[in-house]
Structure 1
Amino acid sequence: MAVAILLDTNAASVPIYRYLVDAGHDVHVVGDKPDNALAKSADNYIKLDYSNVEAVTALVERLDADFLIPGCNDLSYETCAAISATRRFPGIDPVETVRILGNKQDFRQYAEAVGIPAPRQISEADARSAGAVIVKPADAYSGRGITALMAPSAADLAAAINQAKAFSRSGSCLIEEFVQGQLYSHSAFLGPDGIVTDFFVEEYGSVNPYAVDTSYVVPAFDPALANGVRAAIEKIARDLNLTAGLIHTQFIVDGDKFWIIEITRRCPGDLYSQLIASSTGFNYAENYTRPFLGEGFDGRDQAYRPVLRHTISVRTPQIFEGLQFRRAADIEMFVPLALTGEHIAASPFGRIGILFARADDAAALNTLLHTALNGELYAVLGQDRKTRS
Structure 2
Amino acid sequence: MTRLLIAGGGHSDVPLIQAARNLGWTVATAGNRPDELGHRLSHVFLHCDYSDPQAVLAAARQFRAEAICACCNDFSAVSCAFVAAELQLPGHDTPETCGIIHHKDRWRQFSREAGLPGPRAVGCTDVAEVTAAVAQLGLPVIVKPVDLTGGKGIQTAHTPEAAVAAAQTALEASRARRIVVEEFLAGTRHGLSCMLQGQQVVFSFADDEFYHLSPYRVSAASSLTSCTAETLSEVLQAVQRTATLLHLQDGIFHLQFIRRPDGRPAILDVCRRAPGDLYVDLVRHATGVPYAEWIVKAAAGIPFSVPPALPPQRAITRHCLMADHSGIMQDIRLDPDVDARIFDRMIWGQPGTQVTDPGLQKFGIVFVDHGNVTQLRSEAPRLQQLLQCRVI
- Alignment TM class, shorter chain as reference: over 0.9
Q: Which residue of 1 aligns with 2:320?
A: 311
Structure 1 unaligned runs (5+)? 384-389
For residues 289-300 of structure 1, the aligned pairs below 5 Å read 289-300=296-307
Q: Which residue of 1 aligns with 2:349?
A: 338
For residues 219-368 of structure 1, the aligned pairs below 5 Å read 221-254=227-260, 255-300=262-307, 301-326=310-335, 328-329=337-338, 330-368=341-379
User: CA separation in 1, counterparts of 2:50 and 2:377?
Assistant: 40
Q: Which residue of 2 aligns with 1:30?
A: 30
Contact 1:252 1:261 in 2 (8 A): yes
User: CA separation in 2, counterparts of 1:159 and 1:147?
Assistant: 10
Q: Give a deviation string over 1:358-387, Cα, whole Å, max 9, x none.
A: 011111112221321xx420332232xxxx
User: CA separation in 2, counterparts of 1:126 and 1:9?
Assistant: 39
- After TM superposition, which residue ranges in structure 1, 4 or more long, deviate above 4 angstroms? none
Q: Give a deviation string over 1:199-238, Cα, whole Å, max 9, x none.
A: 1111121221100011111267422112111111111111
| Deviation for aligned residue 1:168 | 1.2
The range that moved more, 228-237 or 360-369, is 360-369
User: CA separation in 1, counterparts of 2:152 and 2:62?
Assistant: 36
Q: Identity percentage over the alignment? A: 26
Q: Which residue of 2 aligns with 1:141?
A: 149
User: CA separation in 2, counterparts of 1:190 and 1:209?
Assistant: 30
1:309 partner amino acid: R
User: CA separation in 1, counterparts of 2:264 and 2:225?
Assistant: 20
Q: How many residues align?
A: 379
Q: Which residue of 2 aligns with 1:172?
A: 178
User: CA separation in 2, counterparts of 1:131 and 1:159?
Assistant: 14
User: CA separation in 2, counterparts of 1:163 and 1:220?
Assistant: 35
Correspondence for 1:190 among 187, 191, 196: 196
User: CA separation in 2, counterparts of 1:175 and 1:95?
Assistant: 24
User: CA separation in 2, counterparts of 1:222 and 1:261?
Assistant: 18
Q: Which residue of 2 aligns with 1:386?
A: none
Q: Which residue of 2 aligns with 1:387?
A: none
- SS at 1:19 equivalent: helix
| Deviation for aligned residue 1:348 | 4.6
| Deviation for aligned residue 1:126 | 4.1
| Deviation for aligned residue 1:315 | 4.0
Distance 1:220 1:298, change over 3 A: farther
Correspondence for 2:206 among 200, 205, 208: 200
2:224 partner amino acid: V
Q: Give a deviation string over 1:316-364, Cα, whole Å, max 9, x none.
A: 3332221112452111122113322222332453111111100111111
User: CA separation in 2, counterparts of 1:382 and 1:16?
Assistant: 32
CA RMSD of superposed structures (Å)? 1.7
- SS at 2:215 equivalent: coil
Q: Which residue of 2 aligns with 1:131?
A: 139
| Deviation for aligned residue 1:299 | 2.1
Q: Which residue of 1 aligns with 2:6?
A: 6
Q: Give a deviation string over 1:79-127, Cα, whole Å, max 9, x none.
A: 1111112211111111110111111111111111121111111452241
Q: Give a deviation string over 1:58-93, Cα, whole Å, max 9, x none.
A: 222232211111111111111111111221111111
- SS at 1:380 equivalent: strand
Q: Which residue of 2 aligns with 1:92?
A: 92
Distance 1:193 1:159, change over 3 A: closer
Contact 1:344 1:351 in 2 (8 A): no
Distance 1:219 1:317, change over 3 A: closer
User: CA separation in 2, counterparts of 1:364 and 1:100?
Assistant: 40
User: CA separation in 2, counterparts of 1:47 and 1:342?
Assistant: 26
Contact 1:345 1:351 in 2 (8 A): no
- SS at 1:42 equivalent: coil
Q: Which residue of 1 aligns with 2:79?
A: 79
Contact 1:208 1:347 in 2 (8 A): no
Contact 1:281 1:303 in 2 (8 A): no
User: CA separation in 1, counterparts of 2:354 and 2:159?
Assistant: 34
2:209 partner amino acid: E
2:303 partner amino acid: G
Q: Which residue of 1 aligns with 2:125?
A: none
